[in-house]
Structure 1
Amino acid sequence: MLLSAKFAALIVFVVGVQAETHTVVFVNRCGRGTPRLKRNGVTLSTGGPYTSNGCGADGEGCTMVETTLVNPTTPGSGSSTDITLIPPHEFSVTTGFGYYNGCDGTNPSCPLAFRKPSDTFAQVACQADNVNLAITFCD
Protein backbone atom coordinates (compact mmCIF):
# COMPACT_ATOMS: atom_id res chain seq x y z
CA MET A 1 0.00 0.00 0.00
CA LEU A 2 1.45 3.35 -1.05
CA LEU A 3 0.84 5.90 1.69
CA SER A 4 2.11 9.03 -0.07
CA ALA A 5 -0.08 12.02 -0.79
CA LYS A 6 0.05 11.72 -4.56
CA PHE A 7 -3.25 11.47 -6.37
CA ALA A 8 -5.12 12.86 -9.35
CA ALA A 9 -8.68 12.98 -10.53
CA LEU A 10 -9.21 13.05 -14.25
CA ILE A 11 -12.66 14.12 -15.23
CA VAL A 12 -14.03 14.00 -18.75
CA PHE A 13 -17.19 15.98 -19.33
CA VAL A 14 -19.38 15.20 -22.32
CA VAL A 15 -21.99 17.91 -22.70
CA GLY A 16 -24.34 17.72 -25.63
CA VAL A 17 -27.21 19.99 -24.61
CA GLN A 18 -26.73 23.51 -23.24
CA ALA A 19 -29.59 23.09 -20.78
CA GLU A 20 -27.66 20.44 -18.85
CA THR A 21 -25.95 21.33 -15.60
CA HIS A 22 -23.55 19.11 -13.65
CA THR A 23 -21.48 20.01 -10.61
CA VAL A 24 -18.34 18.16 -9.51
CA VAL A 25 -17.32 18.65 -5.88
CA PHE A 26 -14.02 17.44 -4.44
CA VAL A 27 -13.91 16.55 -0.74
CA ASN A 28 -10.22 16.29 0.18
CA ARG A 29 -9.89 14.92 3.71
CA CYS A 30 -6.15 14.27 3.27
CA GLY A 31 -5.18 17.66 4.69
CA ARG A 32 -2.71 18.23 1.86
CA GLY A 33 -2.58 18.38 -1.93
CA THR A 34 -5.13 19.59 -4.43
CA PRO A 35 -6.94 17.28 -6.90
CA ARG A 36 -6.55 18.13 -10.59
CA LEU A 37 -9.62 18.59 -12.75
CA LYS A 38 -8.97 17.73 -16.41
CA ARG A 39 -11.13 17.78 -19.52
CA ASN A 40 -9.96 16.23 -22.78
CA GLY A 41 -6.40 16.07 -21.45
CA VAL A 42 -6.28 19.76 -20.51
CA THR A 43 -5.99 20.82 -16.87
CA LEU A 44 -8.79 23.27 -16.08
CA SER A 45 -8.17 26.28 -13.87
CA THR A 46 -10.18 26.05 -10.67
CA GLY A 47 -8.77 29.23 -9.16
CA GLY A 48 -7.07 27.27 -6.38
CA PRO A 49 -3.51 26.07 -5.88
CA TYR A 50 -2.22 23.05 -7.77
CA THR A 51 0.01 20.40 -6.22
CA SER A 52 1.05 17.42 -8.34
CA ASN A 53 2.72 15.41 -5.54
CA GLY A 54 4.39 13.10 -8.06
CA CYS A 55 1.47 12.08 -10.28
CA GLY A 56 2.05 12.00 -14.02
CA ALA A 57 0.29 14.44 -16.34
CA ASP A 58 -2.44 11.86 -16.98
CA GLY A 59 -2.59 10.55 -13.42
CA GLU A 60 0.07 7.85 -13.79
CA GLY A 61 1.04 6.38 -10.42
CA CYS A 62 -2.15 7.58 -8.72
CA THR A 63 -5.74 6.57 -8.05
CA MET A 64 -7.95 7.98 -10.82
CA VAL A 65 -11.67 8.75 -11.06
CA GLU A 66 -13.12 8.76 -14.58
CA THR A 67 -16.54 10.19 -15.36
CA THR A 68 -18.84 11.23 -18.15
CA LEU A 69 -21.68 13.46 -16.95
CA VAL A 70 -24.44 13.71 -19.52
CA ASN A 71 -28.24 13.71 -19.52
CA PRO A 72 -29.54 10.47 -21.05
CA THR A 73 -31.11 10.76 -24.49
CA THR A 74 -31.91 7.03 -24.74
CA PRO A 75 -31.97 4.25 -22.11
CA GLY A 76 -28.42 3.50 -20.94
CA SER A 77 -26.86 6.64 -22.42
CA GLY A 78 -26.57 8.73 -19.23
CA SER A 79 -23.71 9.43 -16.85
CA SER A 80 -21.04 6.88 -15.95
CA THR A 81 -18.28 7.08 -13.32
CA ASP A 82 -15.60 4.70 -12.09
CA ILE A 83 -12.35 4.45 -10.16
CA THR A 84 -9.43 2.99 -12.10
CA LEU A 85 -6.27 1.33 -10.90
CA ILE A 86 -5.39 -0.05 -14.35
CA PRO A 87 -1.63 0.43 -14.86
CA PRO A 88 -0.02 2.92 -15.10
CA HIS A 89 -2.52 4.06 -12.42
CA GLU A 90 -2.08 2.66 -8.92
CA PHE A 91 -3.47 3.02 -5.42
CA SER A 92 -2.29 6.25 -3.78
CA VAL A 93 -5.06 7.34 -1.38
CA THR A 94 -8.49 6.04 -0.39
CA THR A 95 -10.91 7.42 -2.97
CA GLY A 96 -14.67 7.27 -3.45
CA PHE A 97 -17.46 9.08 -5.26
CA GLY A 98 -21.21 9.48 -5.18
CA TYR A 99 -23.85 11.02 -7.39
CA TYR A 100 -26.21 13.50 -5.78
CA ASN A 101 -29.42 15.23 -6.86
CA GLY A 102 -30.16 12.00 -8.72
CA CYS A 103 -28.93 8.40 -8.28
CA ASP A 104 -28.12 9.07 -4.61
CA GLY A 105 -26.67 6.13 -2.69
CA THR A 106 -24.28 4.91 -5.41
CA ASN A 107 -21.03 5.34 -3.48
CA PRO A 108 -18.29 2.98 -4.66
CA SER A 109 -14.76 3.12 -3.28
CA CYS A 110 -11.33 1.65 -4.09
CA PRO A 111 -12.28 -2.04 -3.59
CA LEU A 112 -14.67 -1.70 -6.56
CA ALA A 113 -12.07 -0.13 -8.87
CA PHE A 114 -11.08 -1.24 -12.38
CA ARG A 115 -7.93 -3.37 -12.08
CA LYS A 116 -7.90 -4.54 -15.70
CA PRO A 117 -9.73 -3.24 -18.81
CA SER A 118 -12.33 -6.04 -18.70
CA ASP A 119 -13.60 -5.05 -15.20
CA THR A 120 -16.72 -3.35 -16.58
CA PHE A 121 -18.54 -4.04 -13.29
CA ALA A 122 -16.65 -1.04 -11.89
CA GLN A 123 -18.67 1.47 -13.91
CA VAL A 124 -21.52 3.11 -12.00
CA ALA A 125 -24.25 4.42 -14.27
CA CYS A 126 -26.82 7.12 -13.57
CA GLN A 127 -29.80 7.79 -15.80
CA ALA A 128 -30.96 10.99 -14.05
CA ASP A 129 -30.91 14.41 -15.72
CA ASN A 130 -28.54 17.05 -14.32
CA VAL A 131 -26.93 14.68 -11.81
CA ASN A 132 -23.99 15.98 -9.77
CA LEU A 133 -20.89 14.17 -8.51
CA ALA A 134 -18.87 14.34 -5.28
CA ILE A 135 -15.36 12.83 -5.26
CA THR A 136 -13.82 12.12 -1.85
CA PHE A 137 -10.17 11.51 -0.98
CA CYS A 138 -8.81 10.10 2.33
CA ASP A 139 -12.23 9.22 3.76
Structure 2
Amino acid sequence: MASSILMLITAALLMKLVHAQETHYVSLVNNCGQGYPVLGGLYGEFYNASETSLFKGPAWGLIAYLQYTDNNGMHLAAFYARPMVLSLLDRKQRISVDITLVPPHEFSVTTGFGYYGGCDGSGLDCTSADCIEAKHDSSQGDRQIACTAPNVNLAITFCD
Protein backbone atom coordinates (compact mmCIF):
# COMPACT_ATOMS: atom_id res chain seq x y z
CA MET A 1 0.00 0.00 0.00
CA ALA A 2 2.73 2.45 0.98
CA SER A 3 4.72 1.59 -2.14
CA SER A 4 1.64 2.27 -4.32
CA ILE A 5 1.19 5.69 -2.73
CA LEU A 6 4.90 6.41 -3.16
CA MET A 7 4.67 5.41 -6.86
CA LEU A 8 1.67 7.72 -7.36
CA ILE A 9 3.45 10.65 -5.69
CA THR A 10 6.59 9.99 -7.75
CA ALA A 11 4.55 9.82 -10.98
CA ALA A 12 2.75 13.06 -10.09
CA LEU A 13 6.05 14.84 -9.39
CA LEU A 14 7.56 13.62 -12.66
CA MET A 15 4.52 14.84 -14.60
CA LYS A 16 4.83 18.24 -12.92
CA LEU A 17 8.54 18.44 -13.78
CA VAL A 18 7.92 17.54 -17.42
CA HIS A 19 5.07 20.04 -17.62
CA ALA A 20 7.20 22.79 -16.05
CA GLN A 21 10.10 22.34 -18.47
CA GLU A 22 10.83 25.40 -20.57
CA THR A 23 10.28 25.28 -24.33
CA HIS A 24 11.20 27.75 -27.06
CA TYR A 25 10.30 27.87 -30.74
CA VAL A 26 12.73 29.52 -33.17
CA SER A 27 11.53 30.27 -36.68
CA LEU A 28 13.46 31.70 -39.62
CA VAL A 29 11.69 33.48 -42.46
CA ASN A 30 13.42 34.18 -45.79
CA ASN A 31 11.68 36.94 -47.77
CA CYS A 32 14.73 37.54 -49.99
CA GLY A 33 13.81 35.31 -52.92
CA GLN A 34 17.25 33.71 -52.82
CA GLY A 35 19.41 31.71 -50.47
CA TYR A 36 18.38 29.66 -47.49
CA PRO A 37 18.33 30.43 -43.78
CA VAL A 38 20.65 28.53 -41.47
CA LEU A 39 20.19 27.91 -37.74
CA GLY A 40 23.27 26.53 -36.04
CA GLY A 41 24.01 25.45 -32.51
CA LEU A 42 26.82 25.90 -30.05
CA TYR A 43 28.47 22.56 -30.86
CA GLY A 44 28.32 22.74 -34.66
CA GLU A 45 24.90 21.14 -35.01
CA PHE A 46 22.41 22.49 -37.54
CA TYR A 47 18.63 22.56 -37.32
CA ASN A 48 16.06 22.33 -40.10
CA ALA A 49 15.56 26.02 -40.82
CA SER A 50 12.67 25.39 -43.22
CA GLU A 51 10.56 24.47 -40.21
CA THR A 52 10.12 26.07 -36.82
CA SER A 53 12.60 24.48 -34.43
CA LEU A 54 11.45 23.43 -30.98
CA PHE A 55 13.92 23.51 -28.11
CA LYS A 56 12.93 21.74 -24.92
CA GLY A 57 15.01 23.43 -22.29
CA PRO A 58 17.77 25.98 -22.92
CA ALA A 59 19.05 26.49 -26.47
CA TRP A 60 22.58 27.70 -25.85
CA GLY A 61 24.58 29.75 -28.34
CA LEU A 62 22.37 29.61 -31.42
CA ILE A 63 23.35 31.54 -34.54
CA ALA A 64 21.16 32.28 -37.55
CA TYR A 65 22.16 33.59 -40.97
CA LEU A 66 21.13 33.58 -44.62
CA GLN A 67 23.40 31.57 -46.91
CA TYR A 68 23.34 32.63 -50.57
CA THR A 69 25.43 33.11 -53.72
CA ASP A 70 25.90 36.62 -55.11
CA ASN A 71 26.07 37.68 -58.78
CA ASN A 72 29.80 36.88 -58.88
CA GLY A 73 29.34 33.30 -57.68
CA MET A 74 30.63 34.08 -54.19
CA HIS A 75 29.06 32.13 -51.33
CA LEU A 76 28.03 34.66 -48.73
CA ALA A 77 26.40 34.64 -45.36
CA ALA A 78 24.10 37.55 -44.66
CA PHE A 79 23.77 39.42 -41.40
CA TYR A 80 23.92 37.26 -38.31
CA ALA A 81 21.34 37.15 -35.58
CA ARG A 82 22.61 35.43 -32.47
CA PRO A 83 19.87 34.19 -30.19
CA MET A 84 21.02 32.82 -26.89
CA VAL A 85 18.58 31.27 -24.46
CA LEU A 86 19.65 31.18 -20.84
CA SER A 87 18.24 29.51 -17.78
CA LEU A 88 19.32 31.50 -14.76
CA LEU A 89 20.14 29.93 -11.43
CA ASP A 90 17.02 31.35 -9.80
CA ARG A 91 14.98 29.29 -12.29
CA LYS A 92 13.76 32.36 -14.16
CA GLN A 93 14.13 32.05 -17.89
CA ARG A 94 15.63 34.68 -20.12
CA ILE A 95 16.28 34.87 -23.82
CA SER A 96 18.77 37.41 -25.09
CA VAL A 97 19.38 38.18 -28.78
CA ASP A 98 21.62 40.51 -30.73
CA ILE A 99 22.35 41.23 -34.37
CA THR A 100 26.09 41.30 -34.87
CA LEU A 101 28.18 43.08 -37.46
CA VAL A 102 31.43 42.26 -35.69
CA PRO A 103 33.97 41.25 -38.37
CA PRO A 104 34.00 38.93 -40.20
CA HIS A 105 30.20 39.39 -40.18
CA GLU A 106 28.91 42.16 -42.41
CA PHE A 107 25.63 43.60 -43.57
CA SER A 108 24.12 42.32 -46.82
CA VAL A 109 20.31 42.14 -46.39
CA THR A 110 17.79 43.69 -44.03
CA THR A 111 17.36 41.46 -41.03
CA GLY A 112 15.18 41.55 -37.97
CA PHE A 113 13.95 39.51 -35.07
CA GLY A 114 11.05 39.65 -32.71
CA TYR A 115 9.71 37.77 -29.75
CA TYR A 116 6.29 36.14 -29.68
CA GLY A 117 4.43 34.29 -26.98
CA GLY A 118 5.85 36.82 -24.53
CA CYS A 119 7.54 40.22 -24.88
CA ASP A 120 5.50 40.70 -28.07
CA GLY A 121 6.68 43.78 -29.95
CA SER A 122 10.25 43.58 -28.63
CA GLY A 123 12.99 42.96 -31.13
CA LEU A 124 15.19 44.71 -33.64
CA ASP A 125 15.21 45.48 -37.38
CA CYS A 126 18.40 46.51 -39.17
CA THR A 127 18.10 47.91 -42.68
CA SER A 128 21.69 49.01 -43.30
CA ALA A 129 25.27 48.51 -42.19
CA ASP A 130 24.84 51.68 -40.12
CA CYS A 131 22.29 50.02 -37.83
CA ILE A 132 23.26 51.61 -34.52
CA GLU A 133 21.40 48.99 -32.47
CA ALA A 134 23.51 46.15 -33.94
CA LYS A 135 26.66 44.93 -32.25
CA HIS A 136 29.66 46.38 -34.16
CA ASP A 137 32.31 45.51 -31.57
CA SER A 138 32.65 42.41 -29.40
CA SER A 139 32.68 44.59 -26.27
CA GLN A 140 29.11 45.80 -26.95
CA GLY A 141 27.30 43.22 -24.82
CA ASP A 142 24.68 45.85 -24.01
CA ARG A 143 23.30 45.54 -27.56
CA GLN A 144 21.43 42.36 -26.68
CA ILE A 145 17.67 42.60 -26.34
CA ALA A 146 16.42 40.41 -23.52
CA CYS A 147 13.04 38.96 -22.65
CA THR A 148 12.20 37.38 -19.31
CA ALA A 149 8.81 35.93 -20.25
CA PRO A 150 8.69 32.17 -19.68
CA ASN A 151 8.72 29.95 -22.77
CA VAL A 152 9.10 32.91 -25.12
CA ASN A 153 9.63 32.23 -28.84
CA LEU A 154 11.73 33.94 -31.48
CA ALA A 155 11.14 34.79 -35.15
CA ILE A 156 14.10 35.89 -37.31
CA THR A 157 13.30 37.41 -40.69
CA PHE A 158 15.66 38.09 -43.60
CA CYS A 159 14.64 40.82 -46.08
CA ASP A 160 11.89 41.99 -43.74
TM (norm. structure 2) is 0.63
Q: Which deviates the most, 17-26 or 123-132?
A: 17-26
Query: What one-letter code is carried by the residue in structure 2 that aligns with 1:115?
Result: H
1:88-127 alignment, distance < 5 Å: 88-110=104-126, 111=131, 112-127=133-148
Q: Which deviates the most, 129-138 or 109-118?
A: 109-118
CA shift, 1:44, in A, is: 1.7
Q: Distance in 1 between matches of 2:92 and 2:105?
A: 27
Q: 1:74 aligns with which of 76, 90, 109?
A: 90
Q: Distance in 2 between matches of 1:101 and 1:86?
A: 29
Aligned-residue RMSD, C-alpha: 2.6
Gap runs ≥5 in structure 2? 1-16, 51-65, 70-74
Asked which structure has the greater CA Rg, the reply is: 2
CA shift, 1:100, in A, is: 0.5
Q: Distance in 2 between matches of 1:132 and 1:25?
A: 8
Q: Distance in 1 between matches of 2:49 and 2:106?
A: 27
Does 1 or 2 have the higher relative contact order (CA < 8 Å, sep 6+)?
A: 1
Q: 1:22, 1:130 within 8 Å by CA — same for their partners in 2?
A: yes
Q: 1:20 aligns with which of 15, 19, 22?
A: 22
1:23-102 alignment, distance < 5 Å: 23-46=25-48, 52-53=68-69, 54-55=75-76, 62-74=78-90, 78-102=94-118
CA shift, 1:20, in A, is: 1.4
Aligned residues: 117
Q: 1:75, 1:127 within 8 Å by CA — same for their partners in 2?
A: no
Identity percentage of aligned residues: 44
Q: More strand per residue: 1 or 2?
A: 2
SS in 1 for 2:142: helix
Q: More helix per residue: 1 or 2?
A: 2
